Structure 1
Amino acid sequence: MGQRNETEVWEFMLMGFSNHPRLEPILFIFFFLIYAATMLGNIGIIVLATADPHLHTPMYFFLKHLAFLNLCYTTAVVPKMLFNLISSRKTISYHLCITQTYISLFMGATECILLTVMAFDRYIAVCHPLRYTIIMNHQVCMRIAAASWTISFFSTVVPLFLTLPSLCGPYIINHVFCEAPVLLHMICTDTSLNELLMLLGAAGTQMLPFILILVSYGCIINAVIKIRTTSGRQKAFSTCSSHLTVVTIYYGTGMFMYMRPKSLYSPENDKLISVFYAVINPMLNPIIYSFRNKEVKESLMKVFGRNALAKVQ
């Protein structure tokens, strides 16, 4: 399989988990259930945060954006992966492969920025509670969200579009989906420039936001230490625990995948890492970040309570 002429669409062999054929039916069921849970959880967050006035706060405003991002990311990856798990012809078109690469970069960078914005939101809530509603008003949140998506687009999709060179055969991708580190192995020319650009992009969209998150939490810890009561400290830390969990999981896997030289790539390990942050992490986010929160539980009780009452009547 390859390019017959310059106008025809390329088709790649996407190996996925084909080296474990006996596991593929089990993996299909496993990933299908994860995808269903991801869709249900993230759509649920968007619906609840939109319908319940008590959840019309900056934190849940940005959570809606994070949930929408998770839906886009996992939908770009999982359906094709599921199809290939039960298909004897495990291929992916050139255009879908490039689309997955763009989306994975774009959504990954946007999530980094949104997590940074959420850390700033927690900083304002803990360190400046009396000014919180003034600083984080709806107009400010709208502008921050728009800036997050715009900056991510112009720092990932545009540079990749302008610098992605021709790809060489054999057109075999030993991975579960297409993303930038995988395509480096298929570039015909020297990849030093591409690796440098990817490293610089990762530094701008991962390391800089990560440093800002650390600074925010440094200020939060300093403020919490000054709180005299134990209950006050626990309340302050509880508002940040979910966010810290998500940051640790996402940044740990993302930095390992995108901020290392090409020589350290390992196909089998990379598959597991990519599955974790592109498939499993979008499922975990609603559980870690929202369904543990008291406000979401109360909102769910209201919804189910109304439905139960309607059925009785």
Structure 2
Amino acid sequence: MERRNQTDVSEFILLGLADDPEVQPLLFCLFLSMYLITILGNMLILLAASSDSQLHTPMYFFLSNLSFTDICLSTITIPKMLVNIQAQNQHITYTGCLLQVWFVLVFICFENCLLATMAYDCYVAICHPLMYTVIMNPCYCGLLILFSLFISIGDALLHSLMALQLSFCTDLEIPHFCELAHVIKLACSDSFINTFLANFMASVLSGISLSAIIFSFIQIISSLSQMPTVGRKYKAFSTCGSHLSVVFLFYGTAVGVYISSAVTDSSRKLAVASVMYIEVPQMMNPFIYSLRNRDMKGSLRKLFSRINVTFL
């Protein structure tokens, strides 16, 4: 097989989800709808949290960051795919592919850290309510976000720089979008260190976040069991119920992708699994938070009322 250095690689081929030309318009409409729903839903969360003074709390500050992350993650992947479907062009440049890998890593890792941070916020709110405003002060919340972003950028930079050292062959087909694991599989050069680092860092970062989330909810359940009234228990659990649903959705789809990659070599099946992981949680998060949160529903009603008054 012909071997080429990475400096000679000019582009990769994105396989997409189907080869049938008759299916392409349906896929275009499907993913365009998913993208618009994701952008609209998360933008509404951002507008509601910023415009309503009652939502100027740490929980909604972290939620706003989560919505912004979901918007960015979807924007990195879906528009390029829509352009490729519309133009009947499945190519992406080498530089564009590595940039997509870097941004996907940044925002996936950042979302992973955000979910742990939001679980910690729930823990403090329920287990230490009298100290909540002291512990979760604006400065500390900002530092948590900056620390999460620093870890995410550092992790993405490490993997991206390591990917630059790889050499690639002529078979440069990638399912759906450029993801680190798919790029490493295409390498002709020794990619053991890349694979080891990818698995090690993913295990460490997700393991730490999951451990923090599990610890937080164990403490929350323990505190709820000691509350005397059902009403207080329901109110406390509703504060964190939405977050728990998002955690299950995020890590559940991640496990699904891992299992799919382990049991199948089909590029099409891997592409479908990647779509589930990258697109579905980002689209569903606004619905989960808005439908199960009274404050958010009330703020959205106020926002829609203002919009109606403005246009009328």
Give the TM-score normalised by structure 1: 0.91
SS of the aligned residue for 2:168 comes to coil
Q: How does 1:17-28 map to 2 (within 5 A)?
A: 17-28=17-28
Q: Distance in 2 between matches of 1:143 and 1:103?
A: 21
1:170 paired to 2:183: no
Q: Cα gap change, 1:259/1:196 in structure 2, threshold over 3 Å: closer, same or farther?
A: farther
Q: Distance in 1 between matches of 2:3 and 2:194?
A: 22
Q: CA shift at 1:257, angstroms?
A: 3.4
CA-based RMSD:
2.4
- Which ranges of structure 1 fall in alignment gaps of 5 or more residues? none
**Structure 1 stretch displaced more, 38-47 or 121-130:** 38-47
> Could you list the per-position Cα deviations for residues 25-62 of structure 1 after superposition, in whole angstroms to 9, with x for gaps in the alignment?
11110110111111111122122211211110101101
Farther-moved stretch of structure 1 (72-81 vs 292-301): 292-301
**SS of the residue aligned with 2:197?**
helix
Look up the SS of the partner of 1:290 in the other structure.
helix
Q: Deviations over 1:125-182 (max 9, x none)?
A: 1111111111111111111101110011112322431454323222432400000111
- Could you give the per-residue CA deviations for residues 43-92 of structure 1, whole angstroms, max 9, x where no partner exists? 22122211211110101101111111111111110011112223333111
SS state at 1:89 partner:
coil
Residues 109 and 152 in structure 1, CA contact (< 8 A), matched pair in contact too: yes
Q: Give runs of aligned pairs for residues 46-61 of structure 1, distance below 5 A.
A: 46-61=46-61
Hey, what's the Cα distance between the residues in 2 that align with 1:165 and 1:7? Answer: 10
Alignment of 1:151-300 (within 5 A): 151-162=151-162, 164-257=164-257, 265-300=265-300
For structure 1, which segment, 192-201 or 55-64, has the greater mean C-alpha deviation from structure 2 after superposition?
A: 192-201
Q: Rate the CA distance shift 1:7–1:265 in 2: closer, same or farther, 3 A.
A: closer
- Offset at 1:292? 3.2
Change over 3 Å in CA distance of 1:39–1:95 after alignment to 2: same
Alignment correspondent of 1:73: 73
* Matched letter for residue 37 of structure 1: I
Q: What SS does the aligned partner of 1:21 have? A: coil
Q: Give the TM-score normalised by the residue count of structure 2.
A: 0.91
Shift in CA distance, 28/241, structure 1 to aligned 2, threshold 3 Å: same
- Contact 1:14-1:92 within 8 A present in 2 as well: yes
Displacement of 1:105: 1.2
CA distance in 1, matches of 2:36, 2:202: 30
Call closer, same or farther: CA 1:4–1:197 in 2, change over 3 Å.
closer
Aligned to 1:117: 117
Displacement of 1:266 after TM fit?
4.1
Compared with structure 1, are the counterparts of its residues 254 and 68 closer, same or farther at alpha carbon in structure 2 (3 Å cutoff)? same
Shifted more, 290-299 versus 173-182: the winner is: 290-299
The amino acid of 1:192's aligned partner reads F
Checking the alignment, whether the CA contact within 8 Å between 1:168 and 1:188 is kept in structure 2 is yes
Distance 2:211 2:256 in 1: 16
**Counterpart contact for 1:15–1:172, Cα < 8 Å:** no
Code of the aligned partner of 1:287: F
Identical-residue share of aligned pairs (%): 36
Given that residues 3 and 9 in structure 1 are in contact (C-alpha distance below 8 angstroms), is that contact kept between their aligned partners in structure 2? no
SS at match of 1:92: strand
Q: Residue 36 of structure 1 corresponds to which residue in structure 2?
A: 36
The reply on whether 1:146 has 2:125 as its aligned counterpart is: no
The 1:195/1:255 distance shift into structure 2, 3 A limit, reads farther
Q: How far 1:263 moved relative to its partner?
A: 7.3
Q: Mark the CA change 1:100 to 1:308 in structure 2 (over 3 Å): closer, same or farther.
A: closer
Does the Cα contact within 8 Å between 1:195 and 1:261 map onto a contact in 2? no
Give, in angstroms, the shift of residue 13 of structure 1. Answer: 1.6
Q: Is the 8 A contact 1:165 1:187 kept in 2?
A: no
Per the TM alignment, residue 233 of structure 1 is displaced from its structure 2 partner at its CA by: 1.7
Paired with 2:261 and 2:294, the residues of 1 have a C-alpha distance of 43
User: CA offset at residue 262 of structure 1?
Assistant: 6.4
Provide the aligned length of Structure 1 versus Structure 2.
311
- CA distance change for structure 1 residues 72 and 94 in 2, over 3 Å: closer, same or farther? same
